[in-house]
Structure 1
Amino acid sequence: MHCYDCSQEGHNEATGIGCCTRCGLFTCADHSLIMRSPVQRPIGVIPMTSALPARRLVCGACRTAEAA
């Protein structure tokens, strides 16, 4: 798969490294960001937050939209 953003810019040779967890488009290393997100799991009636955050890959457009 090729990076969607690179193909829009005319650079069709860029290989995608992963799929954006928000929009689902493939993105390359230059157009993607690794975000950390807390993981919560129920322990009885109180949700516990894991000490280690999970990773998720997002494209630049989705990161901009999340920060707005």
Structure 2
Amino acid sequence: MNCYDCALDGGGASAGIGICSRCNLAVCADHARVTPVLVHRSAGLGRATADRPGRRVVCGTCHAAEAAA
């Protein structure tokens, strides 16, 4: 799958390394933004978050929209 943003920019067909978790478009390494996210799990009465954060891939457009909010 090729990067959607590279196709719009006319930069050719860059291979996608991931899928944006918000809009589900393919993104390459240049256009991807990897952000940490807390992992929540149902653990009854115990702790509900993991010790280390997980990763989430978003495109530049969705990352900018989240930062503006």
Q: Deviations over 1:8-60 (max 9, x none)?
A: 00012211111111100000000001111001112224651111111111100
Structure whose residues are more often strand by fraction: 1
Q: How many percent identity over aligned positions? A: 47
The answer as to whether partners of 1:2 and 1:12 remain within 8 angstroms in 2 is no
2:52 matched residue in structure 1:
52
Structure 1 gap ranges (5+): none
Normalised to the residue count of structure 1, the TM-score between the two structures is: 0.89
Normalised to the residue count of structure 2, the TM-score between the two structures is: 0.88
Tell me the SS of whatever aligns to 1:48: coil
Structure 2 gap ranges (5+): none
Give the alignment's Cα RMSD to 1 decimal: 1.3
**Deviating runs (4+, > 3 A) in structure 1?**
none
Instruction: Number of aligned residue pairs: give it.
Output: 68
